Structure 1
Amino acid sequence: MSTNDFLETLCNTHSISGNEFNLKEIIISTFKNYTDNIFTDDLGNIIALKKGYNNEKNIKVMLAAHMDEIGLIVKYIEENGFIRFTSIGGIDPRTILGQEVIVHGKKDLFGVIGSKPPHLQEKDEIDKAIKMEDMIIDVGLNKEQLVNLVNIGDVISIKRNFKVLQGNRVTARALDDKAGVATIYECIKELSKLYHECDVYFVATVQEEVGLRGAFTSTYRINPDIGIAIDVGFGSTPELSKAETLDMGKGPGITIGGNIHPGLREKLVNVAKEYNIPFQYEVTPGPTGTDGRAIQITREGIPTLCLSIPLRYMHTSVEVVDTLDIKNTAKLLAFFVSSITNENLEGLLCY
């Protein structure tokens, strides 16, 4: 399967935090041809192992990207059949009004998110953003019909399919961080062409959007020598500061900050320069807000890196990435992993 086709399949399959199981067979069946072992842990993380050659010191490198996405959850069913809901993960209510949704009950139900029409709003309401608690989902059923199909706690996804834009750009919901999972897949394929001594663990983590939970447990189990989080960063748009964004199509952002091991970061930059792989810097003084944070503070501490794929309109249903950035991120990861050897690891990890 091509990486673009894999990304489209991921994005068109809902995997709201805590409900990532829909992706299990898709990811396992895609990864298994390139790895030596693959399994799912007790929390739902998918862990694939590609063994190295002559790995005398049992070096372990972990690459992690989260497969969960933000979404909604049924909170209450009104007497008239309208559904009250709240969010799973960070959703800006301004982006969801008027959206089409799928309520994942006993069967999938199409619905729309509505609220009081502007014509009927009070003067003090007109200039204010509508709160999520003032929105409802209408699936066209009364309560008697609806309660047979929908329960409190059922998840709801925004109905938005993967689309190709001009050039190398694509748009979908949940490219945060299914673009990262696709990058791992591309990396696996690249790495199959290269000699590498270390064992590589490719992890599709769960529940990142609600607390980095999958990264904590999978890192604890693997206990890697090096952990690398692959996530997304803020893609540049005219209204955003250049200092706080990444340009689309110009390679991944290599994170600099307290979450990141300086020696490994320097090695990563040198590998990018050696192989003419475009990259950018992403300055994050504190915790990155990615799986990298969880990886770094697991057990006695894991030397950590973070790579960010530029992404526009984060946490909306129309996120945009450039597939060239996915390819270059994967290529950089593959060459970096192949550069880690039994001889140089100890020196790289020294402060």
Structure 2
Amino acid sequence: MQIKEFLKQITEASGVSGYEAPVRELVRAEFAAYADEVRTDTMGSLIALKKGNRPTGTPRRSIMLAGHMDEIGLVVTKLEKGYLRFSTVGGFDLRVLLGQEVVVHGRRDLPGIIGTRPPHVLSPEEREQVVPLDRLFIDVGLTEAELGANVRVGDIVTLRREFTELAGGLVAGKAFDDRAAVACIDLCLQYLAGLKHTWDVYAVATVQEEVGVKGALTSTFGINPDAGVALDVGHGNMLGVPEVDTVNVGGGPAIGFGPNIHPVLYEQLTAAAAKYEIAQQMDPIPGPSGTDAWAMQVVREGIPTALISIPLRYMHTTVETLSLKDLERIGRLLALFIAGLTEESARELGLPPAARDK
């Protein structure tokens, strides 16, 4: 599938942290076209294996690519006089919730809107403040009795937004954080179908990143790869944000470096980008990255880990915006980098001897 169509499909789907099943099935169908094996681990992460092509008797090495497929969302906490009170799953900016269209996943899916009291009935002080969560509610248009028959406390709510194409090769929508990374991994698998690679490739769409990088922890532990590359989003250049805190949308992959990143793996990735003339950006990360990379790095006795960020504007809103060209560059970089991995690459990373194929 073309990357734009796949990104549209998976970002319009539902998949709040801990409830990723709908989007996971879409990813499964796509990854299966290019992988030798596809499975779901106990936590819910989707793991696709594309086996390397290596001569008998050579060391068996593997690399894991991880992008999280969960999205931030809402959860019903109370039914009140025909309306729904709710809380958040993951990190929301309350400024963007009012007026959003939603889908309440009750006994049947119900379209709704997030409302509150209009400004006409607020005090002057209230008008100057962000509407607090306890003053917001969801209206699905049902009577109190109908609502009680169709929705219960604990039901998940997703924000509703259609994928939108902008000028200049940009697109906007919800859940680009981090399903855009899943699309990059899919594109990498497509490229690898036409390349020879000796390392096994584990393509993983992880779960529950937005509530504590849980899927990355468990999937990395189960796979135990020789190296890993996490893909996530980074703050794209926009008005009001200092240049030092952003990466350029359309400027290519932002390759992270810092204590969360293995320095040799960083050098290998940047060298591959330079070799194949793929635009790249430096992304200094002085502490924990807050991404799947942190979880991957500290699993077992430690996994050499890299982080590639997709430049993204308006993170954690329903109008997250990115450049399709950046996704294409990242998919191509990953594939060419993997195709160039050898036993010498493993030695440079300080890896112990590996088992050999028989």
The TM-score, its normalising length taken from structure 1, stands at 0.98
CA deviation profile, 1:241-296 (whole Å, cap 9, x unmatched): 11110101110100011100001101111111000000101111111111001000
Tell me how far apart the structure 1 counterparts of residues 229 and 290 of structure 2 sit (CA, whole Å).
13
Asked if residue 117 in structure 1 is aligned to residue 118 in structure 2, the reply is yes
SS in 2 for 1:200: strand
1:243-258 counterparts in 2 under 5 A? Answer: 243-258=244-259
SS in 2 for 1:62: strand
CA deviation profile, 1:201-257 (whole Å, cap 9, x unmatched): 000000000000000000000001101101110010021111110101110100011
Q: Which runs of 5+ in 1 are unaligned?
A: none
Corresponding position of 1:76: 78
Which residue type is aligned with residue 187 of structure 1? C
1:218-237 counterparts in 2 under 5 A? Answer: 218-237=219-238
Tell me how far apart the structure 1 counterparts of residues 70 and 16 of structure 2 sit (CA, whole Å).
5
Tell me how far apart the structure 2 counterparts of residues 51 and 11 of structure 1 sit (CA, whole Å).
28
> CA shift at 1:32, angstroms?
1.1
> CA shift at 1:87, angstroms?
0.4
Q: What is the CA RMSD across the aligned residues, in angstroms?
A: 1.0
> CA shift at 1:124, angstroms?
2.0
Which residue type is aligned with residue 126 of structure 2? E
Corresponding position of 1:176: 177
Tell me how far apart the structure 2 counterparts of residues 117 and 4 of structure 1 sit (CA, whole Å).
38
Q: Give the ranges of 4+ consecutive aligned residues of structure 1 lying more than 3 Å apart after TM superposition.
A: none
Which residue type is aligned with residue 313 of structure 2? R
1:1-351 counterparts in 2 under 5 A? Answer: 1-54=1-54, 56-78=58-80, 80-349=81-350
Native 8 Å contact 2:304 2:349 kept in 1: no
> CA shift at 1:25, angstroms?
2.3
> CA shift at 1:58, angstroms?
1.3
Native 8 Å contact 1:65 1:180 kept in 2: yes
> CA shift at 1:81, angstroms?
0.8
| Sequence identity (%) | 45
Tell me how far apart the structure 1 counterparts of residues 315 and 266 of structure 2 sit (CA, whole Å).
25
Which residue type is aligned with residue 73 of structure 2? G
Native 8 Å contact 1:43 1:214 kept in 2: yes
Native 8 Å contact 1:15 1:67 kept in 2: yes
Tell me how far apart the structure 1 counterparts of residues 27 and 124 of structure 2 sit (CA, whole Å).
51
Native 8 Å contact 2:68 2:205 kept in 1: yes
> CA shift at 1:144, angstroms?
1.2
Matched residue count: 349
SS in 2 for 1:124: helix
Which residue type is aligned with residue 78 of structure 2? Y
> CA shift at 1:345, angstroms?
1.2
> CA shift at 1:4, angstroms?
1.0
Native 8 Å contact 1:91 1:315 kept in 2: yes
Q: Which runs of 5+ in 2 are unaligned?
A: 352-358
SS in 2 for 1:197: coil
SS in 2 for 1:147: helix
Native 8 Å contact 1:303 1:349 kept in 2: no
The TM-score, its normalising length taken from structure 2, stands at 0.96
Tell me how far apart the structure 2 counterparts of residues 260 and 315 of structure 1 sit (CA, whole Å).
24
Corresponding position of 2:355: none
Which residue type is aligned with residue 38 of structure 2? I
SS in 1 for 2:149: coil
Tell me how far apart the structure 2 counterparts of residues 105 and 255 of structure 1 sit (CA, whole Å).
41
> CA shift at 1:110, angstroms?
1.1
Native 8 Å contact 2:24 2:69 kept in 1: no
